[in-house]
Amino acid sequence: MSNFPIVGPEVDITPRPLPVRSRISGQYVELEPLHVRHTAELWRAMQGGEDSWAYMGYGPFASEPALRSFVGDFAATHDPMAWAVRPVTTGIVTGWLTLMENQPKNAAIELGHIWFGPALQRTRAATEAMFLLLRLAADDLGYRRLVWKCNALNAPSRRAAERLGFTYEGTLRAHMVIKGRRRDTAFFSILDDEWPACRNRILAWLDPSNFAPDGTAKTSLR
């Protein structure tokens, strides 16, 4: 009987490429590398959406110049790397999201810093925006582990993770301090062998044939 310890399966140890700033086009949305030129549109998109900042580490912003200063810094970072979300139906930037916590040697990457204005929330464009970055990470860059994490109290974020096919892994208690408050962080993941089924399910949901004339989805993504 062997006395060797049990270890995990061997994997491809080739470091994955880092994401690059480039435009990504979908059926319902255009993702553009975030830039200060998006500030005016983002400022308008934020009006009436004060509660959308409840679980973010920043915001709401007191003025358009304050937002412009933040966007200038945020757009210049490589990790997180941010994209502005421009729905095709409106042509107006109404949110942003990022790829972050990049670990090329571990083939792990996170979809995070997701902020969607009220007009973008619960739309096909919002779902596709998240899908496009997941597909970039998994299919184009070859990452093995896709990560989603959020404040454990953030029920909408947890539901979004489940809709996209993420598996809940557990909660780190007292993981962070955000805006002076304790944050317990819920972790979710999609692994490379799970991704094809997730991808195909999301693509089927996004197909125009899945929507009635009034825009209602015929099938649930969950």
On whether residue 178 sits in a domain, the answer given is: yes
Q: Is position 70 within any domain? A: yes
Count Cβ atoms within 10 A of the Cβ of residue 69 and give its class: 0-12 exposed, 13-18 middle, 19 or more buried. Answer: middle
Residue 12 placed within a domain:
no
pLDDT one-digit tens code per residue, 34-89: 999 999 999 999 999 999 999 999 999 999 999 999 999 999 999 999 999 999 99
pLDDT digits (tens, 9 = 90+) for 105-163: 999 999 999 999 999 999 999 999 999 999 999 999 999 999 999 999 999 999 999 99
147: three-class secondary structure by DSSP: strand
Q: What is the structure's pLDDT at 3?
A: 81
List of residues 6+ apart from 47 with CB closer than 8 A:
none
Residues of the domain holding 76: 24-210
Asked if residue 2 has pLDDT above 90, the reply is no
What is the number of residues in the chain?
Answer: 222
Q: Does the pLDDT at position 172 exceed 90?
A: yes
- pLDDT for the residue numbered 4: 84
Specify the pTM.
0.96
Domain harbouring 54, CATH code: 3.40.630.30
Position 89 in a domain = yes
> Does 11 reside within a domain?
no
Residue 135 lies in a domain: yes
Indicate the SS3 state at residue 23.
coil
| Start-to-end Cα distance in the chain | 46
Number of domains present in the structure of the chain? 1
pLDDT at res. 127: 98
Q: Give yes or no for residue 1 having a pLDDT over 60.
A: no
Question: 182-217 pLDDT, tens per residue?
Answer: 999 999 999 999 999 999 999 999 999 999 999 999
Residue 195 pLDDT: 98
Residue 15 domain-assigned (yes or no): no
Angle between helices 39-46 and 64-75 (to 10 degrees): 120
Residues 6+ apart with CB under 8 A from 21: 33, 81
Q: Is 218 within the bounds of a domain?
A: no
